[in-house]
Structure 1
């Protein structure tokens, strides 16, 4: 029986490393690509082949030519882009590329629609889903009138971004127009939402749907720490069971006839205990290693779905499992959190597993640290890390 062969793109990220390790441990031939050789997953013991390609962001046409050539020259069963930019670029050329291997991701138009926070909030409000109070602006002349009615503090969010990129918090009405225009220059017509007070859980629902939009794997986790502290990518998370948010996430994706992996974010409003829908990330998510540790191996399940056409549902997993992103996420949280010595669990708890650190696969740490060096000269790397 032949060894399964997978090509995974976007080797810079921890979620990519999680996929490489998960498939490599199962005996897969895992080729990994990235536009820089200073990429975390390229240093993994489970990386069978290392590839450097033109930047999908800076040179998309060259990247697609390279990708078609690699797929044509070397047999792969499945292609897995891990970042949204790469995923949508690949799926925009699905007819061109799918003749060489399976690409088990939803179409580009649907992915772009669900990734748009303005579209999602409009839809959710129309259908009666609980969301933060949201203001959608399509004319800068609306700003002055809106300034007086906003329930400060508010959050300005780009319609399409990930992590903490472009997010601004506004505490005083005197600052609103200036901060909105600042975000607007880079991310056109961001949305404005009420700030949900601290005290409620932030949760993610991770899902895999088949070609009929039936759920084939689900996983829920709670964010325990984030960086920036006030709201950003999670730096420590724990697996939980939470049927209410899982049901909302599943119903949304089924309605839109989604296929493949997706991640839906919620935050519980402590004022009424209601989980509020925040966004859909129609891609692999940063906390992928936690799901794998808890027993839901999404990369392998996605591979099986692509190859077999369907799989049995996987909904059971261990709760209370914790995993963190220590370099640099949880370190930065510790440095910037005024309550750093009172956190539970504590920063120095050695029992917590990590996205990156592994005695069996130690070299990705070198990849992560070496990528920091490129911040001195590489504009694309600066964009990735300094705007998170």
Structure 2
């Protein structure tokens, strides 16, 4: 494959920089960024050959129009969305775009909505007899007795649309559950699942019309210190029945594009249970890269009809976050973390966006941040 030019259509998304790192790692891709907002750390990244943003006010049609202009100006070969909003919007609007042929594979909008909403996914899994924890969908302000009849406590109460463990609550008994639901606005839907004691794993895939093109299975090694957050340490390099299950799920959905599926295996069972589907790039994407599967590059190759890169993960460990980096350069700690098992290389290669993000957090915590200021417009940025 000759050198290609890729436009990341949502360069302000948290998924964009890991995707850009993967594309640059191939040595064959020129990366351009387009952002819907101006004030984002990715604008300072050295990974982008050009970077353009709309400003502070987002308009969907203007965003799509400017992407089209950028494609013409820079001779873009591939347009790649990385996070939920851009993936869904470009899929929904692709029939009216003059540059549809340049898009990577994307899921159908209806399929995306079914899979990424925990409530509709639970119904889909039940209808198609896929294994999942005992589940029910309840609505705040309405009786939940019949819905909960098949569940045992403790349970997890989850908002249908959330990621990274946000908004999940644990209810030890029916009293806890009723008190929580009563505190929520009437009409809000919630997914309730029996808590499964066991361990987490995930399967990341790239698909075309329901068929898995590439996959990487990861198992949790070191859990997060925060409840319901992704594991800090993971291991790649072997496939289990979880990968086979995910392949069946993707086929049933008719999925196209990337996805990351969270699963859990109970302590007293070897049957993986499907928890949720993330229809975007995932937080451990750099771990997949270290395991030898470059999903963003494979997505480009698939769009161009030239799939050549490795599609099977090798044995590898990956430890996320700044703490893991510090541990890796100070002896490795109890897990003997090595620098190559962290994102240290990516940090050294492109240090300004993380530094900008850290500075923003420090300033937001400062008393100065609470002083009244006059907000001024930010003009579009082009470089």
Q: Do they superpose with TM above 0.5?
A: yes
Q: Match for residue 307 of structure 2?
A: 311
Q: Match for residue 79 of structure 1?
A: 79
Q: Summarize the alignment of residues 195-210 of structure 1 with structure 2, pairs less than 5 Å apart.
A: 195-197=195-197, 200-210=198-208
SS at match of 1:176: helix
How far, CA to CA, are the matches of 2:56 and 2:222 in structure 1?
32
Q: Considering only aligned residues, what root-mean-square deviation do their CA atoms show, in Å?
A: 3.2
| Deviations 1:76-102 (CA, angstroms, capped at 9, x unpaired) | 111111110121112211123352651
Displacement over 4 Å in runs of 4+: 144-150, 181-185, 348-351, 373-378
Q: Match for residue 385 of structure 1?
A: none
How far, CA to CA, are the matches of 1:15 and 1:148 in structure 2?
39
Q: How much does 1:357 deviate?
A: 4.8
Q: Match for residue 179 of structure 1?
A: 180
How far, CA to CA, are the matches of 1:229 and 1:243 in structure 2?
27
Q: Match for residue 298 of structure 2?
A: 301
Matching residue within 307, 310, 317 for 1:321 = 317
**Which residues of structure 2 form unaligned runs of 5+?**
326-332, 371-383
SS at match of 1:136: strand
How far, CA to CA, are the matches of 1:19 and 1:145 in structure 2?
44
Judge conservation of contact 1:133–1:193 (CA < 8 Å) in 2: yes
Q: Match for residue 244 of structure 1?
A: 241
Q: Summarize the alignment of residues 1-388 of structure 1 with structure 2, pairs less than 5 Å apart.
A: 3-12=3-12, 15-25=15-25, 26-53=27-54, 59-99=59-99, 102-104=102-104, 105-137=106-138, 140-143=141-144, 150-182=151-183, 188-197=188-197, 200-210=198-208, 212-227=209-224, 229-308=226-305, 311=307, 314-326=310-322, 344-345=334-335, 350=339, 352-354=341-343, 357-372=346-361
Q: How much does 1:60 deviate?
A: 3.4
Q: How much does 1:30 deviate?
A: 0.7
Pairs aligned (count): 359
How far, CA to CA, are the matches of 1:165 and 1:97 in structure 2?
34
Rg larger in 1 or in 2?
A: 2
Judge conservation of contact 2:233–2:317 (CA < 8 Å) in 1: no
Judge conservation of contact 1:14–1:355 (CA < 8 Å) in 2: no
How far, CA to CA, are the matches of 2:345 and 2:119 in structure 1?
34
Judge conservation of contact 2:44–2:353 (CA < 8 Å) in 1: yes
How far, CA to CA, are the matches of 2:364 and 2:10 in structure 1?
17
Q: Match for residue 330 of structure 2?
A: none
How far, CA to CA, are the matches of 1:92 and 1:55 in structure 2?
24
SS at match of 2:297: helix
Q: How much does 1:149 deviate?
A: 7.3
TM value normalised by structure 2: 0.81
Judge conservation of contact 2:237–2:291 (CA < 8 Å) in 1: no
Judge conservation of contact 2:140–2:185 (CA < 8 Å) in 1: no
How far, CA to CA, are the matches of 1:54 and 1:171 in structure 2?
46
Q: How much does 1:220 deviate?
A: 0.6
Judge conservation of contact 1:216–1:312 (CA < 8 Å) in 2: no
Q: How much does 1:48 deviate?
A: 0.8
Q: How much does 1:274 deviate?
A: 2.6
Distance 1:173 1:374, change over 3 A: farther
Q: Match for residue 381 of structure 1?
A: none
| Deviations 1:20-63 (CA, angstroms, capped at 9, x unpaired) | 1222231422112334455444333321112223579x643443
